[in-house]
Amino acid sequence: MKIQWSLIAALLFALITAVFAVINVNPVAVNLLFGTVNVPLILLIIGCSLIGGLIVGTFGIYRQYQMQKEIRSLAEQLIHIREVTGYTPEIQAAEEEKKKEQKDVPVE
């Protein structure tokens, strides 16, 4: 569901940017370090939007990589802890079953 909302927000942003860019087609002077260039405002708006999208996308990919790295590390720690303690999901299920049975037995 989160992906759908992100897609809707991205499409809405793209639509607003496109409308704004089409309205502003006049050439503007862009001052660079080595001189001035006249560029249509529509190209400037679209270019800046693309650069911003690339920056956000790169950050998202980096963040996802970091999360996967952390998940791998935590999984290795879990395996190590289970090996050291001998604790397995089967033992946990058996302990939970014992607790349920103890709760079900009436106290006299």
pLDDT computed for residue 72 by the predictor? 96
Predicted TM-score of the model (pTM): 0.58
pLDDT computed for residue 23 by the predictor? 85
Domain boundary assignment for the chain: 2-101
pLDDT-flagged residues of the chain (< 50): none
Report the share of the chain in percent with pLDDT over 90.
36
Q: How far is CA 99 from the centre of its chain?
A: 39
Half-sphere exposure of 42 (CA within 13 A, CB side): 8
| Cα distances (angstroms) measured from residue 91 to each of 7, 23, 35, 82, 98 | 44, 67, 73, 11, 11
Structure tokens at 94: 């058996």
